[in-house]
Amino acid sequence: MKDFTIPRLGFGAANLGNLLRALTDDEAWAILDAAWDEGVRYFDTAPHYGLGLSERRLGAFLATKPREEFVVSTKVGRLVRPNPEWQGELDLENDFLVPAETRRVWDFSADGIRLSIEESLERTGLDRFDVLYLHDPERGDLDAGVNQAIPALAGLRDEGITRAIGVGSMDTAALLASARTGALDLLMVAGRYTLAEQPALAEVVPTCRAHGVGIVNASVFNSGLLATDNPSAGDRYEYGGVPDALLARVREIAEVCHSFDVSLPTAALQYTLRDDTVRSLVMGASSPDQVRQNAARMTETIPNELWAALVDRELIPE
């Protein structure tokens, strides 16, 4: 990753693929417009997000911007292929409100990865991707991901096809196995290093530090649990329900934040940026107001006493 620095704040484009809620093209554009106006210059997408819809929408927007002014990443491992069994249903099994006329096919081979990149370039209309991540290898074949896909990505980086490579996952074991290869520049840690829970701290973060791997932290709200000042049992956690013990701890964290006049979402956004291993924070949004609100939270000052109080109450590790 020589001579390449990833921007501190990024936009995660899963919502542009109609994740849990359908957006019009105009609504998607307005969200991206707000992100650009707030200074966001790193954008992350994937073929998985809406079976290519996110890539198409993001590419159309970025086509209006100078290429040298932004960094963009996409992911490999899943190819989008025609679905011969489609009978008009939506892709609800994967939480995307798009027609399931195509389907995802796992392919961790070197040829499959090259093909995935070519197809993503065609969907986005871009000339290149700055970062390529292997996406959720544990959901397909982790051994193949580690032993085939990562070396293939490293070869593409060496060829100059991309500037940096990484793995993105919500699974701690997959993140650790990937970091241990020593081949990666970045690791996209989704939901495993947040104010609510930090399973990545035990081994993943130290391994990244030892191998010089930067962390791109995603899903810092744990899919919504940390997104409001008053967490409730009805909030979404990992796209599902909230475990009782976790909800109780997050409510305690919210109380401490309130005592320092700091909102829970603000603390959640800034928490891991105190760690120099975390190079970037990727945030999604389903409206322009969410984008602007999160950008404002990033500029707020949090007293060090807040973090000390959370440590004292054993709500976060020291």
- At 32, which CATH number? 3.20.20.100
pLDDT at 242: 84
Residue 274 within any structural domain of the chain: no
| Residue from 42, 49, 133, 237 carrying the catalytic annotation | 49
Residue 75 within any structural domain of the chain: yes
Residue 250 within any structural domain of the chain: no
Residue 59 within any structural domain of the chain: yes
- Give the residues of the chain that fall short of pLDDT 50: none
pLDDT in tens, 10-31: 999 999 999 999 999 999 999 9
Give start and end residues of each alpha helix (H) in the chain: 25-37, 53-62, 110-124, 137-140, 142-144, 150-159, 172-179, 204-211, 244-259, 264-270, 288-299, 304-312
Q: Please tell me the pTM assigned to this model.
A: 0.95
Work out how many domains the chain is built from and give that number. Answer: 1
Residue 125 within any structural domain of the chain: yes
271 annotated active-site: no
pLDDT at 152: 98
CA gap 171, 161 in Å, rounded:
27
pLDDT at 236: 76
pLDDT at 1: 64
Residue 131 within any structural domain of the chain: yes
Q: Which domain holds residue 37?
A: 9-190+203-214
Residue 314 within any structural domain of the chain: no
Cβ neighbours of 21 (radius 10 Å): 12
Residue 247 within any structural domain of the chain: no
pLDDT in tens, 196-238: 999 999 999 999 999 999 999 999 999 889 999 998 887 778 7
CA gap 90, 100 in Å, rounded:
5
pLDDT in tens, 172-187: 999 999 999 999 999 9
CA gap 286, 290 in Å, rounded:
7
CA gap 228, 59 in Å, rounded:
31
